Each structure stands twice: as C-alpha cells, then as structure tokens.
Amino acid sequence: MSHGVCIISIQADAVNVLQTDNKMQRLTPQFSLYSAKSQAAGMLQVAAMPVSCSSCGTQRAALRRPKTGHSLCKSCFFWAFEEEIHHTIVSAQLFQPGERVGIGASGGKDSTVLAHVLKLLNGRYSYGLELLLVSVDEGISGYRDDSLETVKRNQQQYELPLKIVSYQELYGWTMDQIVKQVGLKNNCTFCGVFRRQALDRGAMMLGVNKICTGHNADDIAETVLMNFLRGDIARLRRCTAITTGSEGAIPRCKPLKYAYEKEIVLYAYFKKLDYFSTECIYSPNAYRGHARTFLKDLEALRPSAIMDIIHSGENLLVREDVKMPTQGTCSRCGYISSQALCKACVLLEGLNRGLPKLGIGKHHKLHHKLLSEEPLNERDMRKLKDF
C-alpha cells in the first residue's frame, strides 16, 4: 500500500473502500441517497500508515468509529458495538426470560443487524428469549418482493421462524394500487399507518410478548426533528421512548436506539451480512427525507449532534396544562386510537369510497358519518376535494 489515505465511504447502505494518492478524490458510489455534504459526513479516514487499535493495542485499526472517534480493529469494533446494544437492553430492562420476541424484518441493514445481534446476545448472555421474524409485504413491485427474498434467506441463516403479512390480505389494497389513487405526495402516510398496524397483527398471530424494531439513533433524531417542526407535541413527547405501546398494544422496543446508522452499515459490511440495500421507490418525496438531509449536515459539523438531539427529546418537559390525546380503541377494528376511528380505518374508508384524501389532514367531524355509514353530502365532498 502506498502512503496515501484509505477512505471508507458510507453511502446509506453502500460501503466503498477507495485508495487515493495524496488528495481525496471525488466519490461516485452506486447508491447516492445523500447530498455531497452528507457524503463527506459519511467518510471515515484511517491513515495508511499502521495505526494500532486503541482498545487492544495489538491489532491494526481497521476503522475509526463515527460515534466515538476511536480507531479500532474489526474484532474490537464488533465487541464494542455488540456490548453497547447489550448495555442498552439490560439498562432499559427490555426483556424478561421466557418471552416470545418478534423482530420486525424488512431485509434492510437495520433489521438484519438487529436479528443477527439479538440472536448472538441471546446466546451469549442467556436472555432466554424465543426469537421470531415478522415481515410486512406492502405490495411494492420491484422493491418489497425482492427484499422479502432477503428476509427468507435470513430466516434460514438465523434459523428463526418467519411470519409474513400483506396489505392485500389485511386491507384489500397493495401500495402499488394505493399510489395509483393518491399519487406520490401523501403515499407515505398510508404506508406508515398500515405498516404499523400490519406489524402488530402479524405479531398477534405469532403470540409474541414484544416487537423489536430496527430504529437506530439517526431514525430517532430525525423523528424528533420532524415532530418539532410539525408542532406535534404528543409524538414529540414519546418518540424517544425506547419502549412504546404499553397502553394496550403489543409493546415495541428499540435495542438499536443509540446505534449510529454508519456503524450499523460498517458492522453489516465487515460481518458480511446478507441484506437488501435499495431505497423504496415511493419514498424520495417523503417529509422524513428533508429531516434526514438536515441531520446529516449537522452531523458533518458536529458528530455528536445525533445523540444531542435524542437526549434533548428525552429530557423534554410538557406543561401540565397542555391537553394530550386520550388513548382508546377504534370502534370498528378494536385497534388503539385516540379517535372513534383509528387512522387506518379512516384511510381505508377513504380508499374504498374513492375519496383518498379523507384520511389526510383533520376530518374528525366526519367520523360519525363513517361509523354510521352515512353518505357524505355535497359540502363534505367539496371540503375533501379542496383540501
């Protein structure tokens, strides 16, 4: 190796190792999801001259951790990454021995790393858990059908039971059909609401005690920013919780809450895990993308920005006189809801009536008509068309 610099560039799910002479060359990775500034934020530089691992001191460092800045060899990085997740699980008391735990599996890097690490830690520390995989088929041709093949391979690799539930069987619609109705502006609203409920229903079929999702530190920081920008106090208050859904739904927990996305990519890359790395074809216009770009720009200037935002959300206090939604159940399907009808039932009603905008925005005054299956009058129809 020459006396250049070894650049490890992380582009969401793609890791490119390049060697330069004395100057950094422009990178053109296959998956380009972030801006040029974010590309720079996603680079880890390790000097070509031998650098010892700052942990063991005997092996050569293979990377510099984005989270801490420590230069580590592969073995020490693996151990540090796994032990931090173990610490998160133990300190938050996420599991109890004998529980059946469903892992939300999409085939992507986060859920694949989550399944791999949970199975490893379950054996290493005798958690006593029965692990299962739960996947949702949204019905997105050329995307979800391919990623589900990865999930099926993961099932064989990790020897875990797998349950797949689909939008088609649960709602009578696929996302391809929904997008034809609503376009690309609000499609992520439909998908997010339906997917959350579908994951719960799949977990119920398996009789699990908890659901684990692959939400990482970047995801949670993005959610804090989104809820802040939208003024959504209810979600802002609970979005940093490591466990949610204790009000009646199957509890959901996030073992990767403090794991940086870049480190998850590095772990999957160096472990040679089998995962799917293509972005959803319907998500480029999602509101979350703007929060993600902003967060990456912040991270480029201050790597600790991700954890800083999470800690800010955790320490948020809401005045006692602020009215918060009251949790109840949907009168139609029985799912948890703060309204007479849950969001999924309202969205589905709109689709079935040919009024897809019915579930977009605030139309709670129309819920009583939906419950009694009354026809909407001309004024109601005009409101929905003008929205």
Question: Do 252 and 208 touch, CB atoms closer than 8 A?
Answer: no
Helix (H) or strand (E) holding 335: none
Q: Which amino acid is at 186?
A: N
Cα gap 353→343, rounded to integer Å: 15
The dihedral built from the CA positions of residue 83, 86, 90 and 92, taken in this order, carries a sign that is: positive
The dihedral built from the CA positions of residue 257, 258, 262 and 268, taken in this order, carries a sign that is: negative
Nearest Cα residue to 100 out of 222, 205, 11, 26: 205
Question: Do 79 and 235 touch, CB atoms closer than 8 A?
Answer: no
What are the percentages of helix, strand and coil residues in the chain, rounded to 5? 45, 15, 40
Cα gap 335→346, rounded to integer Å: 12
Cα gap 360→383, rounded to integer Å: 12
**In b/e form, how buried is each residue of 160-181, taking b as 16+ CB within 10 angstroms?**
bebbbbbbeebbebbbbebbee
The annotation status of 308 as a binding-site residue, yes or no, is no
The annotation status of 176 as a binding-site residue, yes or no, is no
Cα gap 15→27, rounded to integer Å: 11
* Phi (first) and psi of residue 37, to 5 degrees: -65, -40
Structure tokens at 85: 């997740």
DSSP per-residue letters across 162-218: EEEEEHHHHHS--HHHHHHHH-SSSHHHHHHHHHHHHHHHHHHHHT-SEEE----HH
Structure tokens at 237: 């208050």
The annotation status of 297 as a binding-site residue, yes or no, is no
* Phi (first) and psi of residue 140, to 5 degrees: -115, 105
Binding annotation: 104-106, 110, 136, 214, 219
Binding annotation for ATP: 104-106, 110, 136, 214, 219
